[in-house]
Amino acid sequence: MPITVAVVGAGPVGLMLACELKLTGVDSVVLERLEQPSGQSRALGFNARTAELLHQRGLLERFLAEGTPVPVSHFAGLPMDLTRLDSRHKYTLSIAQFKVERLLEEYAVESGVEIRRGHEVVGLHQDDEGVVVSVAGGGETYELRCEYLVGCDGGASTVRGLAGIGFPGTGPKVHGILGDVASIETSVEYRTPLSYPGGIFGVAPIEPSGFRVTTIEYDVPTPSRGTPTLDELRESIRRVTGEDVRLGEARWLSRFSDSARLAERYRAGRVLLAGDAAHIHYPQSGQGMSLGIADAANLGWKLAAAVGGWAPEGLLDTYHSERHPVGRSVLTNTEAQKAMTFPMDWVRDLRTLFQQLMGYDDVHRHIMEEVTGVGVRYAVPGGPSDERPGAAGTSLLGRRMPDLDLAAEAGGPTTVAELLRGGRGVLLVLSGDAPPPAVEQGWGDRVDVVGAKPADPAPAAAVLIRPDGHVAWAGDGVDGPADGQRLMDALAAWFGAARAN
């Protein structure tokens, strides 16, 4: 086949997925219906887990150079102190979505990813061998055959509709307007979204110069889906706040709502969904772009394994079984946040009680880990429902591996994130024991075996880390009969059969 994977959509999710595939040697083509990047930014930052994923690929410095780390976030407007996160990256990175797209596209092009702009998917059909995609672009319609197709084409996903994947959920109950304006004269303090009886109004400075203005109204007729006007934004502000504001030139205007929908399945044969094509939700705590990038990190290595022919049975199906619950969890927490702001005079006591609860460390940590993505735990074999009492490292199973500082036996100082740069699995031995020769012989083409001494006490004697940074196995050692067999089972479950000698 001339094309291995077709990725539809050149937003952050599609570009991240194409880069993940290229890292493993899998070629893809990115199909984007827009002729040029929009330059627009619904999202204005990403969370700590996204920072970890980009750090694992050696890309984070590019984003830090153009963004601003902010050590706080919020849950329904209640502040969270991110300096208390168990992460090397204790912040939200404030960076406009158009910059994230530009930086990922630059990296994709450097890596050799083909991006076709002005090419729109208009049809598809699939069989046991692959997918045939009908594409309109360059003044003609042509067919492209690929092994797999991934829809990263947003909430109104064409791919999702053509694949016949349901998108159940709830429709809009509130109406919001986003406006990027050159100037605004208002009494509202910048970066402080304020609740009023009829809705929410917020103003924040954005680059290169100007302001992001947001209104949310609770009890208004649902407007048309057309682009709002500057006068409409001004009237919305007046209805919410009672204040007549002066707005400068509008550089971008858009609508949003609280629609919450989750794809019935993330995979239909050889067609998969990621990002907003798989889930949409009320925009609270800046989770949307990060949720999609984490989808791409989870899917990339599994899709590469399927293309490479070494994927164990069912591996690609774990993309849905792992990420669908995470999407559901984000919908749940954003709906809860909406309930805590709608309208303020109804929920004041609820907010007071919730703020008191967040004063407890465990509650604060739980909410932070939910919003930042660092608390995601996948149901891997041996995980929460199958832990052996007293076994070292079982609490790690399914979680992302902490980014430990290490002194590697070969190569000197390093970190867990640096060991994951190649997009391969890593068997990290922290006990000083020699790994069984069978590991290198059987899985050395898919898994790096690294011996290292941690700077701080190790959470386990040895850990098998997936390419996305999540722990597939942890044990007291690598040479005992019980742990040794469990390690071999985990290697086979996640990285396929051992290669023949």
Q: Are 43 and 128 in contact (CB under 8 A)?
A: no
Give me the residues paired with residue 462 across strands.
Answer: 429, 475
Of 104, 211, 140, 222, the C-alpha closest to 173 is: 222
Helix (H, G, I), strand (E, B) or coil at 411: coil
Residue 229 sits at the vertex; the CA angle it makes with 224 and 234, to the nearest 5 degrees, is 110
Residue with tokens 């044969």: 269
Q: Please state, in angstroms and rounded to a whole number, the distance separating the CA atoms of residues 111 and 108.
A: 5
Q: Where are the alpha helices (DSSP H) in 45-96?
A: 48-56, 60-64
Q: Are 118 and 139 in contact (CB under 8 A)?
A: no
Residue 390, judged by CB atoms within 10 A of its CB (0-12, 13-18, 19+), counts as exposed
Residue 99 sits at the vertex; the CA angle it makes with 105 and 256, to the nearest 5 degrees, is 110
Domains annotated on the chain, with CATH: 3-169+261-369 (3.50.50.60), 172-257 (3.30.70.2450), 394-495 (3.40.30.120)
Number of helical (H) and strand (E) elements in the chain, helices listed first: 13, 29
As given in the structure block, the two tokens for residue 482 are 């019980």
Tell me which DSSP letter residue 165 carries.
Answer: -
Q: Are 471 and 463 in contact (CB under 8 A)?
A: yes
Cα dihedral across residues 433, 438, 443, 445: positive or negative: positive
Q: Where are the alpha helices (DSSP H) in 242-389?
A: 288-308, 318-339, 344-357, 361-372
* Helix (H), strand (E) at residue 22: helix 12-23
Q: Please state, in angstroms and rounded to a whole number, the distance separating the CA atoms of residues 207 and 180.
A: 10
pLDDT tens track, the chain, 501 positions: 468 999 999 999 999 999 999 999 999 999 999 999 888 788 889 999 999 999 999 999 999 999 999 999 999 889 999 999 999 999 999 999 999 999 999 999 999 999 999 999 999 999 989 999 999 998 999 999 999 999 999 999 999 999 999 999 998 888 899 999 999 988 877 666 677 887 889 888 887 778 999 999 987 776 667 889 999 999 999 999 888 999 999 989 999 888 999 999 999 999 999 999 999 999 888 899 999 999 999 999 999 999 999 999 999 999 999 999 999 999 999 999 988 887 777 888 999 999 999 999 999 999 999 999 999 999 987 544 444 444 455 689 999 999 999 998 887 899 999 999 999 999 999 988 888 889 999 999 999 999 999 999 989 999 999 999 999 999 987 766 667 889 999 999 999 999 986
Alpha carbon 497 to its chain centroid, in Å, reads 29
Give me the residues paired with residue 255 across strands.
Answer: 177
Q: Please state, in angstroms and rounded to a whole number, the distance separating the CA atoms of residues 287 and 47.
A: 7
Of 414, 374, 335, 413, the C-alpha closest to 76 is: 335
